[in-house]
Copies of this chain bind each other. A is one copy, B any other.
Amino acid sequence: MISVEQHLTRILETVKVIRPFEQGVLDAQGCVLAEDVTARGSLPGFTNSAMDGYAVHAADVVGASAEHPVVLPVVNDIAAGNTNALSLAQGQTMRIMTGAPMPRGADAVVVVENTDGGVVKVAIRAASVVGQHVREVGEDVEEGVVVLRRGTLLGPGQIALLAASGVSRVRVVPRPRVVVISTGDELVEVGQKPGFGQIVDSNSVMLTAAVTSVGATPYRVGGVADDARTLMDTLEGQLVRADAIITTGGVSMGAFDTVKEVLSRVGTVQFDKVAMRPGMPQGFGVLGDDEVPVFTLPGNPVSALVSFHVFVAPALRAMAGRPEPSFPPGYVPAVAAESFRSVPGKMEFVRVILDDDRARLAGGQGSHMLGALAAADALAVIPPDVVEVDEGDSLECLPLLGRDGQ
């Protein structure tokens, strides 16, 4: 029996960051930059007005006030998108819109609210100072500087900065492509009515959704029969498109545990009992020339999803180049709303419903109990040396994927 930390450490020491790939900036959302990115142009790219108003020589409006407005001729209109380089002579003004290029010579903008809004001549009712309401070229970003560093996660703001700086394609760590295979002669496809002895293949659907929830790209193969040849062929066929493979089922102590039988022969996948509940039987290793990581999760649905949270999600994040805290990742604190017992010597993952920070049991805790799993908000993580949790005790909880709608 090995500990949860030992199994996770072995996984995180094995998986590698996926080879970077060039993508359009919009397709790179949720990915991590694999390179420092340099601005191809300055921001702003030209000196422009920060407001709607009138471009002036500040010296011309010294002393302007509501009582003593300065009246100047309006010699032009400059809209945003005006691509002509204009010049403003002393003693004149031009109407100018937000984002429009400042005419040469002008050094300030008087906002329209401080004028009479005239279009032939304008009464300016407030003084201005040099640089007021003017955005200088390069004041946000200078051409040639590094705008985003390797390792940056790209969200809306980062993507906007890249695009605005003239960068349309970037090298990023791609989203991991994850093949999901469930195994077992008992499985029927979603939508089919299971006969006696059969069950719907809900595991591959669940794990496909879980892969999506961590920002990776799932390929759902679905149910494969308990036949060594079929399973091996399926695995080999899927390797070409997989950055990782997840299987469920067939890893326990049974006489027909095909996954264990097939992958034990290959020699690169190791099967362990991990001191956790649910989820004790775990396997992990690599397959093929590209050393594709393979996670063989237990077949009980609750065990499979808990295993995904504890082992697969951190591995997929690491493969995507995201910084991942060591175990435990992303815990939220809570308080036990009721007392319950925990199994000694194993890390227990208890399905709980969070009411603010109060955690109560979500229902039946059997590893096949989907009802309680679906009602739960989080997994309360009970360390191996704790056998009894009392009402009011502090808990660390791992939020279940998908609670935020992703």
Contact = CB atoms under 8 A, between A and B. Distances in A.
B161 A371 contact: yes
B373 A161 contact: yes
B213 A156 contact: yes
A343 interface: no
Most buried by B among A45, A154, A220: A45
A68 B402 CA distance: 51
A195 B300 CA distance: 61
A85 interface: yes
If over half of A's interface residues share one DSSP class (helix, strand or loop), that class is named, otherwise mixed; here it is loop
A268 B19 CA distance: 51
A401 interface: yes
A402 B30 contact: yes
Interface string A225-253: 11000000000000000000000000011
A212 B157 contact: no
A62 interface: no
Interface string A312-328: 00000100101000000
A41 B101 contact: no
Contact of A164 (B45, B159, B255, B301): B301
Interface in A64-92: 77, 79-85
Contacts of A26: 190, 205, 208-209, 220
Given A101-B196, A197-B83, A403-B155, A77 B373 contact: no
A209 B155 contact: yes
A186 interface: yes
A168 interface: yes
Given A160-B206, A364-B139, A368-B135, A199 B45 contact: yes
Contacts of A83: 195-198
Contacts of A147: 371, 374
A15 B12 CA distance: 45
A131 to B, nearest CB: 13
Given A254-B97, A256-B97, A44 B199 contact: yes
A141 B163 CA distance: 51
A233 to B, nearest CB: 19
Interface in A109-152: 111-113, 135, 139-141, 147-148
A186 B81 contact: yes
A194 B45 contact: yes
Given A147-B374, A369-B140, A226 B79 contact: yes
Nearest to A367: B50
A52 B156 contact: no
Contacts of A113: 253
A180 to B, nearest CB: 11
Interface of A: 24-26, 29-30, 40-41, 43-46, 50-52, 77, 79-85, 95, 97-101, 111-113, 135, 139-141, 147-148, 153-161, 163-166, 168-169, 184-187, 190-191, 193-203, 205-210, 212-215, 220, 225-226, 252-257, 299-301, 305, 308, 317, 320, 322, 364, 366, 368-371, 373-374, 376, 400-403, 405-406
17 contacts: A29-B212, A29-B213, A52-B253, A83-B196, A97-B255, A97-B257, A98-B300, A99-B199, A135-B366, A135-B368, A155-B400, A157-B305, A157-B374, A157-B402, A159-B206, A163-B205, A164-B200
